[in-house]
Amino acid sequence: MKLKALSISEVNSYIKRILTNDPILYNLKVKGEVSNLKMHTSGHIYMSLKDNKSKINCVIFKNNVPKNLNLEEGLEVRASGYISLYEKDGSYQLYINSIDVEGIGNLHVEFAKLKQKLQNEGLFDEKYKKKIPSMPNNIGVITSLTGAALRDIINVIARRYPKVNIRIYPVLVQGDSSADDIVYAIDFLNKREFIDVIILARGGGSIEELWSFNEEKVARSIFKSQIPIISAVGHETDFTISDFVSDLRAPTPSAGAEISVPSYIDIRDRLDISKDRMNKIFENKVYTYKKDLDSTKKDIDITYKGIIKDKFICTDNCLKNIENAINKKLVLTRNELDYIGQNLNNLSPLSVMSRGYTLVEKDDKLVKNPKNLKLGDNINVLFEKVCVNCKIQNIKEVD
Amino acid sequence: MNYEVSYKRLQEIIASLEEETISLDESLKLYEEGIRLYRHCNKLLESAQLKITRFSNDTLEEIEIDIEEV
């Protein structure tokens, strides 16, 4: 029998019908590894799913893409959908209706549920969050001994504020016993009252690796803690339950360390500036007082000198007055004396004698009364400059 | 007295000293107290040192570790 020749379209159309009518192929659940992942700008996702022997091309249309889908090359996924033919090029694909990253979808849901539950209970409320002490002496660090988180924390603190005691409580930060470890560590440190603040830290990782920080028992332990806890888990974009319930979230372990201590240099500077300021203020005050004192002293000096000067002037004037008075009196007295002297002169016998009058002496005695004279007596007649010795020859009364 | 309390008191003293109305005697007293506080704060700052210890899982004792070790 000769077969009729079909067109390509007819062949493809037929194949498509077979494929889409097959009950198994129409309702498939597959598991495989993501490869050749292409996120199209249209919102559709194209990729291949493979196992170690073969692969199949897939597409997820935009409206089937779940909200928190985080596809990556190499991820193990489970997907459900149907096989159909893309008629244009004769290739078949798996058209995916829903896809789940192995186990992961679960975790996201769990996370959201626990977050809501604890939020409703009030565990995230601001009012429960304790203040981080500004100058701690003892910092408790709960983290893995290996790994970059601890190293980063120590480096930051050593650089910024090498004045504290860092007390490490090592824990497993992932795996089955990690959550219990962390709970125990928080409890342990809380029994040591000298611890001022706790940094709960872990480096970056996937949601599975960070999972212990999302566990309910860890959240409750953080909430119960009397010592403030800084949650420094993962990278900047990772958020864990511990971030919400702790007293402060830090985006990374380094940031956690940075928040937990002050800057030594700042404190040092502020102290020194304060001291300088105080010195300056006090100096100024003393200077002001001294200036005031000096100025008062000057005033006193000036006033005092003024007073003294006045007194001197006064005294000088007095002296002058006395001098003048004395001089006047001297002159007056001299005049008086001269006057008296003059009179004396005039009355002086010598003055009289210079006018020709004489004195008579007998036996060296002045004769006042001529009745005492006898004839024959020797008398001296005193002229001004001459003395004449005489013998009395005749005595006659004259009227 | 801890650092923060001392430092706060130091700031109070500086504020008081800045007031015009304060007497010289009072200034002197406050200044002396201020210097004492500064010395105290200084001592606290200088004497504190970085120490890194770790609680041993088994025995709950503290073991000192070096910065290099980590």
ipTM: 0.88
* Cross-chain residue pair A274–B10, CB shorter than 8 Å: yes
- Name the percent of chain A lying above pLDDT 70: 98
Q: How high does pLDDT run on average in chain A? A: 91
User: How does pLDDT run across A146-156, given as a tens digit for each residue?
Assistant: 889 999 999 99
Residue A249 has pLDDT above 90, yes or no: yes
pLDDT tens digit sequence for A66-95: 877 778 887 888 999 999 998 888 999 999
Q: Do B27 and A135 touch (CB under 8 A)?
A: no
Number of H helices, E strands in chain A: 10, 14
| Reported pTM | 0.61
Residue A159's SS3 state is helix
Residue type, A100: D
Whether the pLDDT of residue A191 is over 60: the answer is yes
Residue B65: per-residue pLDDT: 67
User: For residue A212, what pLDDT band results from cuts at 50, 70 and 90?
Assistant: very high
Q: Which residues pair with A202 in a beta bridge?
A: A233
pLDDT value of residue B21: 84
Kindly list the residues from chain B whose CB atom is less than 8 angstroms away from the CB atom of residue A158.
50, 67
Write down how long chain A is: 399
Is residue B70 predicted with pLDDT exceeding 90? no
Give me the pLDDT at residue A14, please: 93
Residue A224 is predicted with a pLDDT of 96
* Residue B31 forms contact with A (CB below 8 Å): yes
Chain segment A286-323, per-residue pLDDT in tens: 898 899 999 999 998 888 888 888 999 999 999 999 99
Question: Does the pLDDT of residue A178 top 70, yes or no?
Answer: yes
Residue A96 CA to chain centroid, in angstroms? 62
Dump pLDDT digits (tens) for B37-64.
Answer: 999 999 999 998 999 998 876 656 666 7
**Residue A103: predicted pLDDT:** 58
Q: What is the pLDDT of residues B14-43, one digit of tens each?
A: 999 988 788 889 999 999 999 999 999 999
Residue A60 bridge partners (DSSP): A45, A96
CB pair distance less than 8 Å for A271 and B42: yes
Q: Give the CA angle between residues A391, A397, A398 to the nearest 5°.
A: 115
One DSSP character per residue, A341-377 reads: HHHHHHHSHHHHHHTT--EEEETTEE---GGG--TT-
Q: Which residue has the higher pLDDT, A60 or A110?
A: A60
pLDDT exceeds 60 at position A179: yes
Judge whether residue A8 has pLDDT over 80: yes
Q: Which of A159, A161, A168, A177 to mutate to test the interface with B (most CBs of B within 10 A)?
A: A168
- Chain segment A92-133, per-residue pLDDT in tens: 999 999 988 875 556 777 888 899 999 999 999 999 999 999
Counted residue by residue, chain B has a size of: 70
For A28-54, the pLDDT digits (tens) are: 999 988 889 999 889 899 999 988 889
CB A164 within 8 A of CB A157: yes
| The pLDDT value given to residue B60 | 60
Q: Are A165 and A139 in contact (CB under 8 A)?
A: yes
pLDDT band at A1 (very low <50, low <70, confident <90, very high): low
Query: Is the pLDDT assigned to residue A197 strictly greater than 80?
Result: yes
The Cα–Cα gap between B54 and A68 comes to 40
Average pLDDT over residues A253-269: 96
Q: Which residues of B touch A154 (CB under 8 A)?
A: 52, 67, 70
The torsion region of residue A292 among left (phi > 0), alpha (psi -120 to 50) and beta comes to: alpha
pLDDT of residue B68: 58
Q: Are the Cβ atoms of A281 and B14 closer than 8 angstroms?
A: yes
Beta bridge partners of A46: A38, A59
Closest CA–CA distance from residue A270 to any residue of chain B (Å): 10
B31–A165: do the CB atoms touch at under 8 Å?
Answer: no
CA distance linking residue A37 with residue A34, whole number of Å: 7
